[in-house]
Amino acid sequence: MKQALVFLSEGCEETEAVTTIDLLTRAGIEVITASISNCCEVKCSRGVTILAQKTISEIQHENFDVVILPGGVKGAENFRDCSLLIEILQKTHQVGGVIAAICASPAIVLQHHNLFPNAYMTGYPSTKDSFKLWKTDRVYFDEQNKVITSQGPATSIDFALKIIDVLVGRKKAAEVAQQLVLPVGVESYQ
């Protein structure tokens, strides 16, 4: 079974976190949530509180198929400033895992630390100038660097479906998409 790690921090975007957790779970991917603080209770950007399953120190030596960073400016800044999280991202990439970041996290975390200098990425549109190699896509998967990025809360479903597609295949992504009764305009997996 594939394993996904979703990091949570104070101020992260709850729509991006919960949508991704839900869709990956529907796809049969084991999802672990981890707070970057010593407390599992995380107050998100709009005041919703999410209870993480573990803390970062409890999972620091585990390997995951994908490590996911929701956005939200304050949440992304907290991710950026967490040296252990940056080490986990680097280790995951080195062992062939996928890194996925949405909204403010591609710019504030991945670009700030220059983790993927040759990767094409997207992110929240106002962060465009932070990128050397920018894509206008709602979701973009740089296959060579194994990095999935996405633009924001409204692209959360597309983001999660792309993670499913990359980890377990297009057929499973289509199955999950069908369960959601996707509107016209959302990337088709059928």
> Is 12 labeled as catalytic in the residue annotation?
no
What is the domain-level CATH number for residue 172?
3.40.50.880
Mean pLDDT, residues 27-31 taken together: 98
Phi, psi (degrees; rounded to nearest 5) at 6: -110, 115
CA-to-CA distance for 188 and 15, rounded, in angstroms? Answer: 21
Mean pLDDT, residues 98-127 taken together: 97
Closest CA to 167 of 24, 8, 61: 24
Selecting among 12, 44, 82, 103, the annotated active-site residue is 103
Residue 183 CA to chain centroid, in angstroms? Answer: 22
Tell me the residue range of the domain where 173 lies.
3-180
Confidence grade of residue 115 (pLDDT, cut at 50, 70, 90): very high
Mean pLDDT, residues 141-149 taken together: 98
Residue 143 lies inside a defined structural domain of this protein = yes
Closest CA to 148 of 75, 81, 70, 33: 70
Mean pLDDT, residues 70-91 taken together: 97
Confidence grade of residue 186 (pLDDT, cut at 50, 70, 90): low
Provide the 3-class DSSP secondary structure of residue 67. Answer: strand
Contacts of 1 (CB under 8 A, 6+ apart): 28, 29, 30
Number of domains within the chain: 1
Q: For residue 22, what are its two tokens?
A: 């839900």
Residue 190 lies inside a defined structural domain of this protein = no
Residue 189 lies inside a defined structural domain of this protein = no
Q: What share of the chain is helix, strand, coil (3-state, %, to 5)?
A: 40, 20, 40
pLDDT given for residue 188 in this prediction: 60
Average pLDDT value for the chain:
94
Residue 188 lies inside a defined structural domain of this protein = no
DSSP 40-60: SEEE-TTS-EEE-SEEHHHHT
147 has a pLDDT exceeding 60: yes
pLDDT given for residue 181 in this prediction: 84
189 has a pLDDT exceeding 60: no
pLDDT given for residue 8 in this prediction: 98
